[in-house]
Amino acid sequence: MFSSRSSSYARLAGGFLHPIDPDALKAAITKALSADLGDLDRIKELPGFPRAAAATLSKAWAAGLNLAELAATAGQVAAPRLGAVARLDEEVLRHLPSSMRKPADLVGAALPRTSHARTLFGRIAVHGRTGCVHEGESDVDRTAGTGD
Q: What is the mean pLDDT of residues 120-142?
A: 54
Phi, psi of 126 (to 5 degrees): -105, 125
The CA radius of gyration of the chain, in Å to the nearest whole number, is 17
pLDDT in tens, 91-114: 999 999 988 989 888 888 877 777
- Domain residue ranges in the chain: 1-15+105-148, 21-95
Tell me the percentage of the chain whose pLDDT exceeds 70: 73
Please list, residue by residue across 74-103, b when 16 or more beta carbons sit within 10 angstroms of its beta carbon and e when fewer do: eeeeebeebbbbbbbbebbbebbeeebbbb
From 20-34, 66-80, 119-133, the region with the lowest mean pLDDT: 119-133
pLDDT in tens, 33-62: 999 999 999 999 999 999 999 999 999 999
